[in-house]
Structure 1
Amino acid sequence: MTVWDSLVGQKHVIGTLAGAADGKGMTQSWLFTGPPGSGRSNAAVAFAAALQCPNNGCGACHECHTVLAGSHADVSLIRTEKLSIGVDEVRDLVRRSALAPARGRWQILIVEDADRLTEQANNALLKAIEEPNDRTVWILCAPTVEDLLPTIRSRCRLVTLSTPTTAEVATFLATHDGINPALADYAARASQGHIGRARALARDEATRNRRRDVVAIPTKLRNLGACMRAASEMVELAKEEADAITSELDARERADLDAGYGVVDRGRRPREYAPALRRLEEGQKTRAKRRVLDVIDRGLMDLVSVYRDAIAVAAGVPTKLVNEEMRGEVEALAGSASPELNLQRINAVFAAREQMLEFNVPPALALESLMVALRDTASAEGAIV
């Protein structure tokens, strides 16, 4: 077992990174890009472990174990639950980058969501990347190279990850996580190559049920009332899943805060407690908002998968559908609308996605508009723009 075993469908990337860890083509600034779920951050952490490992990523030594566990003193990972990464967080990383390694071969800084850097944060990062210490390595992760400033990406070596195939994801789930092959195949197809999503679908029945409710939406949009109900249900499903993800963390953070200020032991609240609690609640609110948007975004991609399946059925594509379990409904959808209309519906989904993520349109409003656009009636033919 090596540090590379968790990277699914990335043989070309593993070769590049393993070579760099062995001194072939090593540079001090890297940019890992790839679609959501391709494993950008996993690849960055595996690479960091290989750089610290005396055997270039054996997966068994103390260095590998501590990096993979997130406890290595010379590997810092910045990830955010907020909508952006601010300049203060980056300045803290820059200060750490100036330190000599405490015990490892390198001081490694990983920025998981580099596409969320604010303009000031980008500027603070640029200088550090331009003039790194001799034993400092920066690893930035983003969906595409366009998500970073040209001045930053031009100073980084680019590593592009690809979306794993359904077979690769299914095999990984079955062999690595011990998932039943039939369930692994379903999760691999339904996740559309997103490793984290595939694991959630394979392990959690509630997650599977929520997805099943979302992909059933296209066949239910028969009238305006159904459209409004579908929009409301999708928002509620997103809130339910987001709450399942964050509620335990929120409670733990609150308990830590109470313990830190002695609220639990002494039963009273010091003067400094109220502002600290307010900051914590504001941060949790921001995190919850992002989580809801992330879950809705996944739901929108699930909707797209249904319309893509309908187009595939109409075109006579012989491969398995993403939503093979609901082939009958997909065939009915393909029979009730032309491929051109279903393609317009996909465009409508992406337009709604852009409204929420780029223009901050409230999810309920954007989804109501979307469901009307997706309405499954013969009169809708050609009406979506």
Structure 2
Amino acid sequence: MTDPGAYALLVGQTAAVEAIAAAARDAHRADGGVGVMTHAWLITGPPGSGRSNLAYAFAAALLSEPDQDDDRVRAQVDARTHPDLAVLASDRVTITIDEVRRLVTSSQYSPSVAHYRVMVIEDADRMTERTSNVLLKALEEPPERTVWILCAPSEADLLPTIRSRVRLVRLKVPEPSEVAGLLVQRDGVDPGLALRAAEEAQSHIGMAHRLATDEEARARRDDSIRLVLETDTVPKAVRGAQRLLDIAKADSAALTQEREDAERQTALASMGIEPGGAVPPQLRGVLRQLEEDQKRRATRGLRDGVDRVLVDLLSVYRDVLVAQLRAGLPPVNAVWSAEVAALGARTRPTATLKALEAIGDARRRLPANVPPLLALEAMLVSAVLARAA
């Protein structure tokens, strides 16, 4: 039940792991006493901290037999194929009310092979208020052996009524050295490259892995940083906004293309159609639905890609401000230290703060459906004008 391998991807989260492991032990107590286990949990933490990893490790522990390390169950949970596990993980901008209704209906079923039925919602913060209220009813009157595990960046992202019905487990931002150690041990990455990737990803485990193992991803990040450091006029800002959008599109496409191709091939194979073969008219609706789902996911993917670029730019101006204030903090972008110092020397801290504010404004505008290009143009123009002031 507390096999370290189940929590291997959770670096720097000792307190959270201990809390979840204690709950899993308590869930299988033979005496049925009241302990730390409850029917609904909320796991919060910054992106890349391991929220879903902890949720599925908890699910595997609940679905295993007491005091046994069940590799079979863990493999089923990893593949999302366990009969008593239901998962809602949406790549869309929002989770739909119909998706939550189907999950709530599924939560009423009794466990088929395990002692519990486990319901996981990976991005609970993507629910609207109306959708959240559908989930709320299920949390208020849960079946005896159903456990809900919600994941979100912060408890503030959920309705107060839902927060009041869940037990909270908070994840913290791990140290870059801890993330680097994971990359070295798990992926065989060179220690120097692993530490650089962990620092530039700001301890986001998934992004650190990508930067450490994908040279093109590192090149795209370097391009965006070089661009913002060299942008010092309004015309350059307007042209640079389009270039940043192109970088975000390329980054998003690299993440989704392989998945979309695999989804299409799987769909064709399930219909008995050979690669390159003609699709019968009566089956074309299936592919159209898949393509529509992929388009909706692409909208979310582009927004996430732009946001990743903006987070990188935040780290650059953060380094500039640290240099200007002589704060003595380690830089996020160590390989750009000379360029960062040069920008800090020819601008004032007030200009840097305005640039940071402009980037924050751009990140807030994206979820409000402001066109990404306009958001990027406004951000870069504001940063340039702040330098000149």
Q: Which of the five TM-score ranges fits, normalised by the shorter chain? A: over 0.9
Report what 2:378 is aligned to. Answer: 369
**Cα gap change, 1:278 to 1:329, in 2 (>3 Å):** same
Structure 1 residues 70 and 275, CA, compared in 2 at 3 Å: closer, same or farther?
closer
Which position in structure 1 is the counterpart of 2:32?
none
Q: Which moved more, 1:259-268 or 1:181-190?
A: 259-268
Equivalence for 1:74? 84
Aligned match for 1:236, one of 225, 240, 246: 246
Deviation by residue 1:206-231 (Cα, 9 ceiling, x = unmatched): 11111111111222112222112211
Amino acid in the other structure paired with 2:102: D
**Distance in structure 1 (CA, Å) of the matches to 2:386 and 2:37:** 58
Aligned with 1:22: secondary structure? helix
Output the CA distance in 1 between the equivalents of 2:284 and 2:9. 43
Indicate whether 1:28 and 2:39 are aligned. Answer: yes
User: Which of residues 89, 105, 124 is equivalent to 2:99?
Assistant: 89
Q: 1:38 aligns with which of 30, 49, 59?
A: 49
3-state SS, counterpart of residue 8 of structure 2:
helix
* Aligned AA (1:299): V
Aligned residue type for 2:100: V
- The aligned amino acid for 1:190 is E
User: Which residue of 2 is the match for residue 348 of structure 1?
Assistant: 358
Instruction: Give me the whole-angstrom Cα distance separating, in 1, the residues matched to 2:255 and 2:239.
Output: 24
The DSSP-based 3-state class of the residue aligned with 1:288 is helix
Task: List aligned pairs for 1:49-198, cutoff 5 A.
Answer: 49-54=60-65, 58=69, 61-198=71-208
* Cα distance between partner residues in 1 of 2:324 and 2:128: 44
CA gap 1:325/1:269 in 2 versus in 1, 3 angstroms = closer
Instruction: Specify the code of the residue in structure 2 equivalent to 1:364.
Output: L
Where does the alignment leave 5 or more consecutive residues of structure 1 unmatched?
Answer: none
Does residue 14 (structure 1) correspond to residue 17 (structure 2)? The answer is yes
TM-score, with structure 1 as normaliser: 0.93
Q: 1:353 to 1:184 in 2, by over 3 A?
A: same
- Per-residue CA deviations over 1:267-292 (Å, capped at 9, x if unaligned) read 55444434333322221111111111
The CA distance in 1 between the partners of 2:277 and 2:359, in whole Å, is: 51
- Counterpart amino acid of residue 143 in structure 2: N
TM-score, normalization by structure 2: 0.92
Q: Give the equivalent residue in structure 2 for 1:279.
A: 289
SS of the counterpart of 1:192?
coil
Which amino acid letter does the alignment assign opposite residue 150 of structure 1? Answer: P
Evaluate the alpha carbon distance shift between residue 25 and residue 274 of structure 1 in structure 2; reply closer, same or farther with a 3 A threshold.
same
Structure 2 CA distance, aligned partners of 1:265 and 1:178?
35
* Structure 1 counterpart of 2:320: 310
Residues in 2 aligned to 1:376 and 1:180: alpha-carbon distance in whole angstroms: 41
One-letter amino acid matched to 1:285: K
**Counterparts of 1:12 and 1:369, CA distance in 2:** 42
Q: Which amino acid aligns with 1:256?
A: T
Residue 55 of structure 1 and its aligned partner are, at CA, apart by: 5.1
Shift of 1:172: 1.6
Distance 1:262 1:354 in 2: 45
- Count of residues paired in the alignment: 378
Residues 317/266 of structure 1: CA separation in 2 closer, same or farther (3 Å cut): closer
C-alpha spacing 1:181/1:104, structure 2 compared with 1 (3 Å) = same
Q: CA deviation at 1:90?
A: 1.1
Displacement of 1:378 in angstroms is 4.6
Taking only the aligned residue pairs, the percentage that are identical comes to 42
Q: CA deviation at 1:195?
A: 0.7
CA distance in 2, matches of 1:104, 1:275: 37
**One-letter amino acid matched to 1:305:** S
SS at match of 2:285: helix
CA distance in 2, matches of 1:268, 1:213: 42
C-alpha separation in 1, matches of 2:264 and 2:257: 11
1:144 CA drift (Å): 1.2
What residue ranges of structure 2 are gaps of 5+ in the alignment? 27-34
Q: Within 2, Cα distance between the matches of 1:342 and 1:218? A: 12
Does the CA-based 8 Å contact 1:4-1:57 persist in structure 2? no
CA distance in structure 2 between the aligned counterparts of 1:64 and 1:55, rounded to whole angstroms: 14
CA distance in 2 between counterparts of 1:367 and 1:378 reads 17
- Give the whole-Å Cα distance in 2 for the aligned partners of 1:377 and 1:83: 33
The answer (yes or no) to whether the contact 2:351–2:383 under 8 Å persists in 1 is: no
CA–CA separation in structure 2 for the residues paired with 1:251 and 1:270: 20
Report SS of the residue matched to 1:139: strand
Distance 1:205 1:56 in 2: 43
What is the RMSD of the two structures over their aligned residues, measured on CA atoms? 2.0
Q: Secondary structure at the match of 1:50?
A: helix
